Amino acid sequence: MFFVADLARALHFYQELLGFSKKWHEADGAGTVCQVERSDCEIILCEDSARTTPARLFIALKPEGLSALRQELEARSVPYTIARWGYDVVRVLDPDGNELLFPIDGTQDRPETA
């Protein structure tokens, strides 16, 4: 679960920039909790401006999936960095500072930061 200050803003980021689709939304789309999904990854987004501590999610992809993700991020102008979290990861921050971390397999070429 990721807490967000503005659910509409978060939905725009996850759907339009990261390619997630909305699986469900409380109160027929009028509520403050919803779930987005992409492939086997599901994230619950909950609007609560009082909860400001960001969360972190590790998402493991096969090398070709990570390469495709990087291409999508660049095509959609989504900023990311290469960070170290025990090993190299592609790090994407949502508008509320929640982290999506995609481990880089040691056999892959290390992508440059976009």
Among candidates 101, 78, 79, 75, which has minimal Cα distance to 90?
101
Structural domain count of the chain: 1
49-60 residue pLDDT tens: 899 899 999 999
Among candidates 39, 104, 98, which has minimal Cα distance to 67?
104
The set of residues, in sequence order, having a beta carbon less than 8 Å from that of 39 and lying 6+ positions away, is none
Query: Is the per-residue pLDDT at 110 higher than 60?
Result: no
| 114 part of a folded domain | no
| 113 part of a folded domain | no
| 111 part of a folded domain | no
Tokens read off for 15: 């759907």
pTM of this prediction exceeds 0.85: yes
Whether the CA torsion 82, 2, 73, 63 is positive or negative: it is: positive
CATH number at residue 26: 3.10.180.10
| 112 part of a folded domain | no
> What pLDDT shows up at residue 42?
96
| 82 part of a folded domain | yes
Among candidates 74, 60, 55, which has minimal Cα distance to 112?
74
Averaged pLDDT score across all residues of the chain: 91
Query: Is the per-residue pLDDT at 25 higher than 70?
Result: yes
| 89 part of a folded domain | yes
**Domain housing 28:** 2-103
How many residues are listed for the chain in this entry?
Answer: 114
| 73 part of a folded domain | yes
